Amino acid sequence: MKPAAFEYHAPATADEAIALLADLGDEAKIIAGGQSLVPMLALRLAVFEHLVDLRRLDELRGIETRGDAVRIGAATTHAEVGRSEDVRRGVPLLARATPLIGHFQIRNRGTIGGAIAHADAAAEYPAVALALDAEIEALSPRGRRTIPASEFFTGMWTTDLAADELVTGIVFPMWRGRCGFAIEEFARRSGDFAMAGAAVAVRLDADSRVERCAIGLFGLAATPVRATEAEAGLVGSAVDATRAEEIGRVATAGLTAISSDVHGSADYRRRVGAAMVARAWRRAVEEAGND
């Protein structure tokens, strides 16, 4: 199949882009790298009268360390994120998630802002953003605002963005101290979307007790999910006393809307998700203990 006819727009600035979005309303769709949108258009799973292309907006590209955070422009490609020393040093979990995204062709064109705004519940970047308490910067004709990741993902492929808002950047706070990070996922083939996955961050105190931890789940609900109950139960625990399998069980126990499809039942996905949490926890704790 071929996409339905549409009018193409290539604004030169972010202000021009949001003016177009405000003027065109629901009939317009932003396209950045196009790695998710173009296949949907080709299959006519999505139809829009206007496409607003952001590829000319150099102001939306770039990676910068700002104090205790790393800011990444929305139009920065996955490949650029993966190559960045600032990301590797400041946001190791994001750096480790990047090679899991699709194939190298996708990473060369896909953008971090597109991945966040697309809000696919089986994607890696949204889960990492949620786990690390990232903030999403948005621009509209009304001005700029910052949206916590915990409030950004509202449903399947839906976000808190208004129709005339544009993601301009994502800010990831750095974790300091004895920290460890790991991301694990299970997919049918390398490069496929994960059936279930977990992104884990942990910080230990001087006595090797869990001082802080974050567990982000993906592929297991309509949005990425934080395993807050499991996190709360771990804080203050001696790391040697934690049981990875039990952490995985608690992290996935409260999920009530896991889908069943041709790839696996809800119960199967839950068990896979628990195993991914356990595996990521062990790796993160080992790294933190070696720090």
Q: What mean pLDDT value characterizes the chain?
A: 94
For 58-173, CATH number out of 3.30.465.10, 3.40.1390.20, 1.20.1250.20, 3.40.980.10 equals: 3.30.465.10
Cα separation, 84 vs 73, whole angstroms:
13
Cβ count near 135 (within 10 Å): 21
Helices (H), the chain: 14-24, 37-42, 78-83, 85-90, 92-97, 104-109, 112-118, 124-131, 149-152, 228-234, 244-253, 266-289
Each residue's pLDDT tens digit, 258-286: 988 877 899 999 999 999 999 999 999 99
Each residue's pLDDT tens digit, 171-183: 999 999 999 999 9
Radius of gyration, CA atoms only, the chain: 19
Question: Is 252:203 a contact under the CB 8 Å cutoff?
Answer: no
Predicted confidence at residue 71, as pLDDT, reads 98
**Does residue 75 have a pLDDT over 70?**
yes
Predicted confidence at residue 3, as pLDDT, reads 81
Residue 12, both tokens? 């030169």
Cα separation, 72 vs 62, whole angstroms:
6
CATH superfamily of 178-289: CO dehydrogenase flavoprotein, C-terminal domain (3.30.390.50)
**Does residue 1 have a pLDDT over 70?**
no
* Average pLDDT over every residue of 92-115: 94
Residue 11, SS3 per DSSP: coil
Amino acid at 176: R
**Does residue 42 have a pLDDT over 90?**
no
Cα separation, 225 vs 259, whole angstroms:
14
* Average pLDDT over every residue of 229-256: 96
* Average pLDDT over every residue of 26-39: 84
Burial class (CB in 10 A: 0-12, 13-18, 19+), 33: buried
pTM for this one? Answer: 0.94
* Average pLDDT over every residue of 101-110: 91
**Does residue 112 have a pLDDT over 90?**
yes
What is the percent of the chain with per-residue pLDDT over 90, rounded to a whole number?
80
Domain boundaries, the chain: 7-53, 58-173, 178-289
Q: Write down the residue that tokens 């705004």 correspond to.
A: 117
Residues 6+ apart with CB under 8 A from 90: 65, 69, 70, 172, 174
Predicted confidence at residue 215, as pLDDT, reads 98
Cα separation, 153 vs 32, whole angstroms:
19
Question: Is 291:180 a contact under the CB 8 Å cutoff?
Answer: yes
Grade residue 34 by pLDDT with cuts at 50, 70 and 90.
confident
* Average pLDDT over every residue of 48-65: 94
Q: Write down the residue that tokens 């790796």 correspond to.
A: 283
Predicted confidence at residue 188, as pLDDT, reads 83
* Structural domain 7-53, CATH architecture: 2-Layer Sandwich (3.30)
Residue 85, SS3 per DSSP: helix
Cα separation, 73 vs 157, whole angstroms:
21
Each residue's pLDDT tens digit, 6-16: 899 999 999 99
Predicted confidence at residue 38, as pLDDT, reads 78
Each residue's pLDDT tens digit, 221-235: 999 999 999 999 999
Strands 7-9 and 50-53: parallel
Closest CA relative to residue 180, chosen from 131, 112, 130: 131
Ordered DSSP codes for 138-183: EEETTEEEEEEHHHHEEETTEES--TT-EEEEEEEEPP-SEEEEEE
What is the percent of the chain with per-residue pLDDT over 70, rounded to a whole number?
99
Task: Identify the weakest region by mean pLDDT among 39-53, 82-96, 220-234, 243-257.
Answer: 39-53
Question: Is 125:218 a contact under the CB 8 Å cutoff?
Answer: no
Predicted confidence at residue 262, as pLDDT, reads 78
